């Protein structure tokens, strides 16, 4: 989620023709010459949710001094169709919370126009872009990141409301297994979420597919879908790792002396391996 902090300063616009043509303007000490607005909040929000900004309005005194602007009016309008302008009033400290609902059919982005009118009738207008994200949130995972050709690839995930993380039950999720080039390796699978918003499926990886593969999960409306991916590696299975310890019978030996060696072979979890074949310098010994 993107965050922003804006600080905007504008000098009082001249409305008099004579003042507009003047080369110099004398600003009296302590007079309000402009307005400044600080905005803190996110620049993105999911469809059907709200976007909230904490704003503070300031009066500009002279050329650079600031003081909170209580009683300022903040007007908010958007480029969205069928939305009305909303107005907010700053408190005694010049603060206000702006709440802007995001329609469920909002496009991927729109513009917000904020107009601030201070108690001294000093105004500032500026535009702010907002990004709209899907109202659903989806996550997908694979049970194992390595799978053998013609082996099972188990997939599971969850679908929820992005704004509240509330699970979405009885919703269709489309799962597609793709190869390294992004091509589907089989027909997509359609699954349905349970009461907890969970879903699961098992793919059978074709024996002619190798290297990296990924599972794409897709849900939501066709015009505003939500997607997630999880990857795995298709590789031939390898044997379990072995731990081998070799120790000579004596630490000091004469030149040409034969040195008996003790070799211990264990599995990865430390269990001794019986019947392992050990090769030393071309000579094979069986334990």
211-233: per-residue pLDDT in tens? 999 999 999 887 888 999 999 99
Q: Are 23 and 14 in contact (CB under 8 A)?
A: no
DSSP 18: H
* Model confidence band, residue 268 (pLDDT cutoffs 50, 70, 90): confident
Q: Are 33 and 12 in contact (CB under 8 A)?
A: yes
Identical fold for domains 3-133 and 136-234, yes or no, is yes
Task: Compute and round to an integer the Cα radius of gyration of the chain.
Answer: 34
Residues 6+ apart with CB under 8 A from 113: 76, 77, 78, 79, 125, 126, 127, 128
Domain parsing of the chain, residue ranges = 3-133, 136-234, 242-286
Residue closest to 58 by CA, chosen among 129, 128, 122, 3 = 122
DSSP 132-151: EE-SEEEEEEES-SEE-TT-
DSSP 20-74: HH-S--PPPTT-EEEEEEEEEEESEEETTSEEEEEEEEEEEETTTEEEE-TT-EE
Q: What count of other Cβ atoms lies within 10 Å of the Cβ of residue 68?
A: 15
**CATH-assigned architecture of domain 136-234:** Sandwich (2.60)
Residue closest to 74 by CA, chosen among 130, 133, 128 = 128
User: Collapsing DSSP states into helix, strand and coil, what is residue 194?
Assistant: coil
Residues 6+ apart with CB under 8 A from 271: none
Amino acid 254: pLDDT: 84
Tell if the pTM clears 0.75, that is, is over it: no
Q: What angle do CA 145, 151, 154 make, to 5 degrees?
A: 50
* Model confidence band, residue 164 (pLDDT cutoffs 50, 70, 90): confident
40-58: per-residue pLDDT in tens? 999 898 888 889 999 999 9
88-144: per-residue pLDDT in tens? 999 999 999 999 988 888 888 999 999 999 888 888 888 899 999 888 999 999 999
Q: What is the C-alpha to C-alpha distance for residues 276 and 273, in angstroms, rounded to an integer? A: 6
Residue closest to 159 by CA, chosen among 218, 214, 202 = 218
Give the CATH number of domain 3-133. Answer: 2.60.40.10
Going by DSSP bridges, is the β-strand pair 225-234/146-147 parallel, antiparallel, or unpaired?
parallel
The whole-number average pLDDT for the span 228-247 is 86
DSSP 234-255: E----PPPEEEEEEES-SS--T
For the chain, what percentages of helix, strand and coil (3-state, to nearest 5) are there?
0, 55, 45
Q: Are 90 and 74 in contact (CB under 8 A)?
A: yes
């Amino acid at each position: 989620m993107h965050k922003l902090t804006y600080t905007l300063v504008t000098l009082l616009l001249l409305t008099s023709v004579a003042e507009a043509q003047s080369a110099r303007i004398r600003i009296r000490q302590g007079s309000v010459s402009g307005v400044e607005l600080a905005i803190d909040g996110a620049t993105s929000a999911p469809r059907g949710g709200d976007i909230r900004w904490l704003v503070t309005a300031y009066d500009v005194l002279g050329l650079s001094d600031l003081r909170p602007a209580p009683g300022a009016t903040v007007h908010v309008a958007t480029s969205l169709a069928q939305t009305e302008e909303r107005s907010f009033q700053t408190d005694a400290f010049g603060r206000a919370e702006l709440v802007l609902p995001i329609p469920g059919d909002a496009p991927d982005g729109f513009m917000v126009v904020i107009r601030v009118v201070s108690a001294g009738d000093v105004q500032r207008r500026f535009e702010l872009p907002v990004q709209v994200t899907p109202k659903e949130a989806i996550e997908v995972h694979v049970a194992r990141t390595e799978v053998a050709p013609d082996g099972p690839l188990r997939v599971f995930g969850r679908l929820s409301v992005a704004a509240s993380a509330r699970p979405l039950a009885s919703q269709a999720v489309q799962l597609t297994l793709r190869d390294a080039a992004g091509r589907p390796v089989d027909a997509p699978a359609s699954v349905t979420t349970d009461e907890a918003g969970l879903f699961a499926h098992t793919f059978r990886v074709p024996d002619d597919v190798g290297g990296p593969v990924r599972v794409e999960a897709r849900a939501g409306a066709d015009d505003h879908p939500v997607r997630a991916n999880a990857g795995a590696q298709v590789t031939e299975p390898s044997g379990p790792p072995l731990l081998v310890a070799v120790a000579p019978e004596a630490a000091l030996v004469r030149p040409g002396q034969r040195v008996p060696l003790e070799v211990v072979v264990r599995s990865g979890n430390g269990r001794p391996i019986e019947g392992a074949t050990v090769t030393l310098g071309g000579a094979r010994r069986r334990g």
